[in-house]
């Protein structure tokens, strides 16, 4: 084998080994731990450098903005680190064309000078640095910026290639993180909306002085029955109701479960001094209830809401509410 | 996660303490006032049964957690005479003294999970759990 | 051991008691005895028992309340229980505890009004 071919195959082996390290490094990413923390530490190990930071592209500012935490750069400094990319910026060309940008010497590099970042570089102790773009579906979403190889040498092509491969994975990880946060925020928002809807779907309607109507609509499961009962009792306290009309006209199914809940709600209302009246039991529902052997005899019932209201008024205006009418559980 | 609370039940004074502690734990875990009352009432009923039927026993209150939800667990244990027929006492309407305990079906309704282990002559252990919605 | 006694106040010819602290069984029984004694000695026509400050009512307490109402009734006094909290009402109902024969009202104000209505015809009879 010629000397040339030998060095090529050695190079190939080295690159293969490096790729395997990247794969291994990514496999070690842990959920929950700050993603920038993980990326910057992994790159520090991968390239054997002193510092590393992640910058993300902010479309509002049209600039790359440093993300905390970074390795080797204090948090307050990294947050103020901004590379403008707007039309006319010296860095714009990199953004549109290149995948990687190597700075061998901070003081001599024209782009660094043009961007006015030399002072910042000196402040945080950066001597040589490299920027590698993170691409997601062709779009650049940010850069990874390692600085100061520990061996003191400038960044070379191998470093750039290695980091480019890593960066494509990092881009996916960052996007996943963003999606996850967006989904969690949306889920929380929906939970709050749902809670509000549930509140609204068990309304009590105060009518005249001392009469409360609870219109029930739709199917009532155990959870909903609980909320209905709470809403009813809180309504009795709030509106100082002396009569509550439970209107089940809009409830399609009244089985033993629902009947039990209704009876309990009525009894609880009675304990708060409010007489319960049940209205709106349709023929098929009446048949179901009797067929199931459920007895609602302790609750006053009337055909429809109007009849219920008439009865309620009679109850209120009776000079003396009879002891029987007020007793609970008879 | 807070620690569990173990309260010996020797007299009616302990019944009050158990339910006050139970209510506090329920509140700290995030249960609403209605569930706090349910839990405190269940504790009151179960510890009263200990005083009435077993003489002495103990109640342990414990915060519990699964990956999906959090809750509170009550374990009431005594070395009293035990329950000969568990099915009988769990039947709706059963009551050995007029209106005074056992009241177990009612207590079960207050909680989400309810188990009794009892043998005649060997005492009783009742475990009940309530989960945050 | 000193048992904390619940103060029983007199308003016109009604008695009013408001339970403020968690009652252990012995105190509850003591209260029941005190109350019946006061009803007897004052010839009270009505009694309002306010439970606004009570956050747990179990089967024992419910039994005491129902017994008090029944016993007071036998002695000629009507009893109205006021101030049951929604959480307590729900627990009682789920527990399946009946307070049969117990008249209830939302608060002290309503309770006294109801007592007046309940007792009025009896008074008219007595005066007439």
The C residues from 48 to 67 touching B (CB cutoff 8 Å) are 55-60, 62-63, 66
Q: What is the pLDDT of residue A88?
A: 79
The residue length of chain B stands at 133
CATH class of A10-180: alpha beta
Q: Which domain holds residue B48?
A: 5-131
Q: What is the pLDDT of residue A26?
A: 62
**What percentage of chain B's residues is helix, strand, coil (to nearest 5)?**
40, 30, 30
Q: ipTM score here? A: 0.88
Classify residue A284 by burial, with Cβ atoms within 10 Å: 0-12, 13-18, 19+.
exposed
CB-based contacts of C69, cutoff 8 Å, min separation 6: C79, C81, C99, C101, C102, C103
Q: What is the pLDDT of residue C15?
A: 93
What are the boundaries of each domain within chain C? 8-127
| The A211-217 sheet, strands edge to edge | A205-207, A211-217, A243-250, A275-279, A300-302
Q: Could you tell me if B108 lies within 8 Å of chain C, comparing CB atoms? A: no
Distance of alpha carbon A133 from its chain centroid, rounded?
Answer: 28
pLDDT above 70 (res A299): yes
Chain C partners within 8 Å of A264 (Cβ): 90, 93-94
Distance from CA of B70 to the nearest CA of C (A): 21
Contact A230/B133, CB-based, under 8 Å?
A: no
- For residues A287 and B23, which has the higher predicted lDDT (pLDDT)? B23
Q: Over range B64-70, report the average pLDDT.
A: 92
Q: What is the pLDDT of residue A184?
A: 79
Q: What is the CATH number of the domain that holds B51?
A: 3.30.565.10
Q: What is the pLDDT of residue C128?
A: 43
Q: Over range B25-35, report the average pLDDT.
A: 95
Q: What is the pLDDT of residue C22?
A: 79
CATH number, domain C8-127 = 3.30.750.24
The B residues from 6 to 45 touching A (CB cutoff 8 Å) are 34
In tens, the pLDDT along B72-99 reads 999 999 988 888 778 877 876 665 444 4
Element (H or E) spanning C49, and its range?
A: strand C46-50
Q: Neighbouring chains of A at 3+ CB pairs within 8 Å?
A: B, C
Chain C partners within 8 Å of B106 (Cβ): 59, 94-97
Element (H or E) spanning B131, and its range?
A: strand B123-131
pLDDT above 60 (res A153): yes
Chain A partners within 8 Å of B34 (Cβ): 226, 230
Label residue A199 by pLDDT band (50, 70, 90): low
For the stretch C22-51, what's the b/e string if a residue is b when 16 or more beta carbons lie within 10 angstroms of its beta carbon? bbbbebbbbbbeebbebbeeeebbbbbbbb
Contact A230/B34, CB-based, under 8 Å?
A: yes
User: If you average pLDDT over every residue of chain B, what do you get?
Assistant: 88
Q: What is the pLDDT of residue B101?
A: 53
Q: What is the pLDDT of residue A22?
A: 67
Q: What is the pLDDT of residue A6?
A: 54
Whether the model pTM is above 0.80 = no
Contact B34/A223, CB-based, under 8 Å?
A: no
User: If you average pLDDT over every residue of chain A, what do you get?
Assistant: 82
Contact C42, C10 (CB under 8 A): yes
Residue B106 has φ and ψ, to the nearest 5°, of -65, -45
In tens, the pLDDT along A46-77 reads 899 999 999 999 989 889 999 999 999 999 99
Q: What is the pLDDT of residue A316?
A: 83
Chain C partners within 8 Å of B15 (Cβ): 24-25
Reading the block at residue C101, the tokens are 């024969």
Reading the block at residue B79, the tokens are 């070395």
Q: Over range C46-59, report the average pLDDT.
A: 92
The contact set of A with C (CB < 8 A) is 229-230, 233-234, 236-237, 240, 264, 267-274, 319-321, 323, 326-330
Reading the block at residue B35, the tokens are 């569930």
Label residue B35 by pLDDT band (50, 70, 90): very high
CATH class of A205-326: alpha beta
Which of C87, C96, A330 is closest to B99 using CA atoms?
Answer: C96
Q: What is the pLDDT of residue A185?
A: 83
Q: Out of A147-151, B57-61, B78-82, C98-102, which region has the weakest mean confidence (pLDDT)? A: C98-102
pLDDT above 60 (res A32): no
Q: Over range A155-180, report the average pLDDT.
A: 88
What are the boundaries of each domain within chain A? 10-180, 205-326
The A residues from 214 to 233 touching B (CB cutoff 8 Å) are 223, 226, 230
Q: CA–CA distance from C128 to each of A218, C22, C43 (Å)?
A: 56, 44, 19
Q: Could you tell me if C103 lies within 8 Å of chain A, comparing CB atoms? A: yes
Q: Over range B100-128, report the average pLDDT.
A: 87
Contact A223/B133, CB-based, under 8 Å?
A: yes
Reading the block at residue B69, the tokens are 């939800």
- For residues A124 and B1, which has the higher predicted lDDT (pLDDT)? A124
Q: Is A119 helix (H, G, I), strand (E, B) or coil?
A: helix
Q: Over range A166-193, report the average pLDDT.
A: 83
Residue C12: Cβ within 10 Å count = 12
Q: Count the domains in chain B.
A: 1
């Amino acid at each position: 084998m010629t000397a040339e071919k030998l060095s090529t195959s050695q190079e190939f082996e080295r690159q293969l080994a490096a790729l395997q390290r990247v794969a291994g490094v990514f496999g070690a990413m842990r959920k929950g731990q700050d993603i920038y923390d993980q990326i910057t530490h992994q790159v520090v190990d991968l390239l054997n450098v002193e510092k590393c930071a992640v910058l993300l592209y902010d479309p509002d500012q049209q600039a790359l903005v440093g993300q905390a935490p970074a390795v080797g750069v204090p948090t307050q400094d990294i947050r103020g680190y901004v590379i403008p990319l707007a039309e006319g910026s010296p860095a714009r060309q990199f953004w549109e064309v290149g995948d990687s940008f190597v700075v061998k010497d901070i003081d001599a590099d024209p782009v660094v000078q043009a961007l006015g970042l030399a002072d910042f570089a000196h402040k945080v102790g950066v001597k040589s640095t490299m920027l590698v773009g993170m691409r997601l579906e062709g779009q650049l979403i940010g850069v990874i910026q390692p600085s100061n190889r520990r061996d003191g040498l400038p960044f070379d092509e191998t470093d750039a290639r290695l980091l480019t491969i890593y960066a494509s994975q990092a881009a996916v990880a960052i996007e996943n993180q963003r999606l996850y946060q967006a989904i969690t925020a949306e889920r929380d928002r929906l939970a709050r909306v749902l809670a509000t809807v549930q509140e609204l779907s068990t309304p009590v309607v105060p009518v005249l002085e001392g009469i409360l109507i609870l219109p029930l609509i739709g199917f009532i499961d155990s959870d909903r029955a609980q909320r209905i009962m709470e809403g009813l009792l809180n309504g009795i306290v709030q509106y100082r109701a002396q009569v509550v009309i439970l209107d089940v006209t809009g409830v399609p199914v009244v089985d033993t479960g629902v009947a039990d809940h209704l009876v309990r709600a009525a009894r609880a209302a009675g304990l708060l001094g409010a007489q319960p009246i049940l209205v709106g039991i349709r023929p098929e529902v009446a048949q179901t209830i009797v067929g199931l052997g459920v007895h609602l005899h302790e609750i006053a019932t009337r055909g429809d809401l109007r009849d219920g209201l008439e009865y309620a008024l009679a109850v209120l205006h009776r000079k003396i509410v009879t002891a029987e009418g007020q007793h609970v559980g008879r | 996660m807070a620690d569990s609370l173990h309260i010996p039940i020797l007299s009616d004074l302990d019944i009050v303490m158990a339910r006050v502690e139970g209510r506090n734990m329920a509140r700290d875990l995030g249960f609403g006032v209605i569930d706090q009352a349910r839990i405190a009432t269940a504790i009151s009923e179960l510890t009263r049964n200990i005083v009435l039927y077993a003489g002495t026993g103990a109640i342990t209150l414990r915060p519990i957690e699964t990956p999906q939800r959090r809750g509170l667990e009550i374990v009431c244990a005594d070395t009293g005479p035990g329950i000969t027929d568990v099915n009988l006492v769990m039947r709706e309407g059963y009551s050995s003294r007029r209106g005074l305990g056992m009241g177990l079906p009612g207590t079960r309704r207050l909680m989400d999970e309810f188990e009794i282990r009892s043998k005649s002559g060997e005492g009783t252990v009742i475990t009940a759990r309530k989960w945050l919605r | 051991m000193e048992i904390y006694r619940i103060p029983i106040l007199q308003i016109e010819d009604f008695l009013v008691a408001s339970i403020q602290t968690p009652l252990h069984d012995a105190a509850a029984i003591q209260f029941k005895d005190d109350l019946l004694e006061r009803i007897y000695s004052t010839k009270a026509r009505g009694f309002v028992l306010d439970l606004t400050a009570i956050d747990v009512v179990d089967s024992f307490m419910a039994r005491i309340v129902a017994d008090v109402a029944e016993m007071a009734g036998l002695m000629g006094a009507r009893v109205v229980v006021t101030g049951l909290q929604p959480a307590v009402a729900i627990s009682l109902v789920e527990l399946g505890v009946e307070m049969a024969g117990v008249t209830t009202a939302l608060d002290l104000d309503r309770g006294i009004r109801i007592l007046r209505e309940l007792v009025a015809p009896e008074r008219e009879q007595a005066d007439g």
